[in-house]
Amino acid sequence: MQASTHLIEGNLGFDLSKRRELPCCGEVRERNLTLNRNLCIGSGSICSGLRSGAVSMGAELARARNGIETVVRSSVKSRSVKAQASGGDVEDLTPINPQGKSSGIVLPFVGVACLGAILFGYHLGVVNGALEYLSKDLGIAENTVLQGWVVSTLLAGATVGSFTGGALADKFGRTRTFQLDAIPLIIGAVLSSTAQTIQTMIIGRLLAGIGIGISSAIVPLYISEISPTEIRGALGSVNQLFICIGILAALVAGLPLAGNPLWWRTMFGIAAVPSILLALGMAFSPESPRWLFQQGKIPEAEKSIRTLYGKERVAEVMYELRTAGQGSTEQEARWFDLFSSRYWKVVSVGAALFLFQQLAGINAVVYYSTAVFRSAGIASDVAASALVGASNVFGTAIASSLMDRQGRKSLLITSFAGMAASMLVLSLSFTWKVLAPYSGTLAVVGTVLYVLSFSLGAGPVPALLLPEIFASRIRAKAVALSLGMHWISNFVIGLYFLSVVNKFGISSVYLGFAGVCLLAVLYIAGNVVETKGRSLEEIELALNPVT
């Protein structure tokens, strides 16, 4: 059967190095100071020396923005896609190089969304320096249980928020959900800063936790849905960078505490400022064209595409959206739909990635890093943190530059394999007598290599990959579910980690973590799909073919 042919420039309006002919048939469619430190790092953020990381990321994004054609040539291989016409004929789609540039803008709106990432990091880190002073002010200096509640209540709220964020994003849209998210963030900051009782402080932390839980779900979702395919990996990595910047900002904000014990109130209250800016910024930011298209708001979707990608790209982006939604009249997904046979496999991949991330031992390595460095003669906690932080920044900078070239899957496999080897080195350095003369040095090397390996993939990739592999119908809820698993596993590990170490010993625990990392390698190799250089619609069609 003869199929009509449409000439399509690029992929999502940004694949400037090829033009494809696509056949179609009509119109188709997130206890104490030590615990808090672990929680921050468990979220994939070790933030010493972030300035160099920011410079590296800035350079990467500048290259992407100023030379998209170069990025495409270096990071995206020319693809030949096959599509089936209505009569069953299968035709090859041959790429052709088009001319022209996009007049759209994306980076400012990614920056606005990343205010949510900054708040994520800031609320995680702010209690680290302030806990001692607020405990004295609120009369709980001798009550470590209540101090633990001040720290861990944030996690409880984040768990609730991560599940809530997906439903809100589906119902009200991405930008409106950001604005709604500002409400608990602002109220939580105000209550925490003005608290006269521990009860008020805990309520404030709970509300702030709900806010950052919602942010953890919708920031990567929004960035993924508005980013051009060829630099989606680099832009997605910005989320991780700004979480680190938020934690660093919290540490810097605590510097005046020594001279002003009541400064902790200002530290908590100042978080309301970026929350207000987030709400205001989203009032001027375009809604996700994918969400608008799902809602049947075609004119609004086209307007959003013009803002993000330029008027030159409207036709092909709309065509991609129609192709991905072709033949689908399904309603918005319910929570139970995530567990259906149609979606469960890909949803389980998302949850598994965050479980592996937490069960791989990042909290354990950071918890013992100071003791490990002291055993090697590095007595300064600042020096220890600098080494760990430098490893993280260096690894993140490498990952951001490789994300759209090497791909997400290969970075994950390399990352977990390196973490397994590092854990083995750490375990042996504590047990093998023959290595006793070198145990301190080996422990430091193992720790640094572990953090470096973590930052190459296991840290930044899961939050970037999930919005890419989930179908548009379930994307928001599935991301929220996966982030919920992240927060729950983070909380449980923080609760029971010390008990497990006391029972089995740190060497055995490290060996167990190495085993988890190896299991992660096998799981990723067999279950995770590569998404680099592919539009969200292409990925959706590959994983969930239209029937």
Name the β-bridge partners of 22.
Answer: 6
Q: Provide the sign of the torsion angle of the four alpha carbons 275, 280, 285, 287, taken in this order.
A: positive
Alpha carbon separation from 77 to 14, 29, 82, 232, 466 (Å, rounded): 14, 26, 16, 15, 22
- Kindly write down the DSSP assignment for every residue of 457-481, as one continuous string: IITTHHHHHHHHHS-TTTHHHHHHH
Give residue-wise pLDDT tens across range 116-137. 999 998 998 888 778 889 999 9
Instruction: Give me the phi and psi of 24, to 5 degrees please.
Output: -155, 170
How many of the other CB atoms lie within 10 Å of CB of 57? 23
Mean pLDDT of the chain: 77
How many of the other CB atoms lie within 10 Å of CB of 23? 18
The domains found in the chain, sorted by start residue, are 107-285+325-543 (1.20.1250.20)
* Mean pLDDT, each 10-residue run in order, the chain (547 residues): 34 35 37 42 42 40 40 35 32 35 77 95 86 92 87 89 89 95 98 96 96 93 88 82 81 84 95 98 95 91 91 86 62 81 88 91 72 69 64 78 85 96 87 75 86 90 85 83 84 76 86 95 91 74 63
How many of the other CB atoms lie within 10 Å of CB of 297? 16
Identity of residue 511 = L
